[in-house]
Amino acid sequence: MKKPYGLAGIALALSLVIAGCSNDAVDHSAMGHGESQQEEQTQEATTEDGKRVFDINVTETHWMFNDEIMDDAWTYNGSLPGQEIRVQEGDTVILNVTNSLDEPTALHLHGFPVPNEMDGVPGVTQNAILPGEQFTYEYQADVPGTYWYHSHQDGSKQVGKGLYGVFIVESSADKSYDVDEVIVIDEWSSMGTDMSEMDHGDMDMGEMSEMDHGDMDMSEMNDMDHGDMDGVASELSHADMMNEMYDTPLINGKASPAIEAIEVEEGNKVKLRFVNAGLFTQVVSIPGHSFKITHYDGQPVNGPELLNDTAFRIAPAERYEVEVEMKNPGAWGIQVFAEENEKTLNTVIPVIYDGYEDEELQENDSNYSFFDLTTYGQAMEQNLGVITKEYDMLLGTEDGGETFTINDKQFPDHEIYEVEEGDIVKFTIVNDTEVDHPMHLHGEFFNVISKDGNPIQGSPILKDTLNVKPGETYEIVFGANNPGNWMFHCHEFHHASGGMVAEVRYKGYEPTFTLDPTIPNTPE
Q: State the average pLDDT over residues 187-213.
A: 48
Q: What is the pLDDT of residue 43?
A: 60
Q: What is the pLDDT of residue 365?
A: 77
pLDDT per residue over 254-280, tens digit each? 999 999 999 999 999 999 999 999 999
Q: How far apart are CA 350 and CA 426, in angstroms?
A: 42
Q: State the average pLDDT over residues 64-81.
A: 96
Positions of E strands within 190-281: 246-251, 262-264, 269-276
Name every residue whose Cβ is closer than 8 Å to that of residue 397 and which is 6 or more positions away in sequence.
Answer: 403, 404, 405, 433
| H or E element that contains 220 | helix 218-222
Domains 46-172 and 389-506 share a fold: yes
Q: State the average pLDDT over residues 292-300.
A: 98
The mean predicted confidence, pLDDT, of the chain is 86
Q: How far apart are CA 48 and CA 36, in angstroms?
A: 26
Q: What is the CATH number of domain 389-506?
A: 2.60.40.420
Q: State the average pLDDT over residues 444-470.
A: 98
Q: What is the pLDDT of residue 521?
A: 96
Q: What is the pLDDT of residue 442?
A: 98
Q: How far is CA 287 from CA 273, 291, 340, 365, in A?
A: 17, 10, 21, 9
Query: Shortest CA distance to 160 belongs to which of 59, 222, 73, 252?
Result: 73
Q: What is the pLDDT of residue 465?
A: 98
The per-residue b/e assignment along 87-124, b for 16 or more CB within 10 angstroms, e otherwise, is bebebbbbbebebebebbbbbbbbbbbbbbebbbbbbb
Rounded to the nearest 10 degrees, the angle between the axes of helix 238-245 and helix 4-22 is 30
pLDDT per residue over 320-364, tens digit each? 999 999 999 999 999 999 999 999 999 999 999 999 999 999 998
Give Dmax (Cα) for the chain.
67
Query: Shortest CA distance to 336 belongs to which of 268, 270, 262?
Result: 262
Query: Shortest CA distance to 4 belongs to which of 119, 157, 200, 112?
Result: 157
Show me where the domains of the chain are located: 46-172, 248-370, 389-506
397 pLDDT exceeds 60? yes
Q: How far apart are CA 46 and CA 262, in angstroms?
A: 29
pLDDT per residue over 2-41, tens digit each? 333 333 333 333 333 333 434 433 343 333 343 344 444 5
Q: What is the CATH number of domain 46-172?
A: 2.60.40.420
Q: Over 77-93, what HEC string results?
A: CCECCEEEEEEECCCEE
Q: Which CATH class is domain 248-370?
A: mainly beta
Q: What is the pLDDT of residue 22?
A: 40
Q: How far is CA 443 from CA 291, 324, 411, 465, in A?
A: 31, 31, 19, 11
Residues of the chain with pLDDT > 90, as a percent, come to 77
CA 335 to chain centre: 18
Grade residue 198 by pLDDT with cuts at 50, 70 and 90: very low
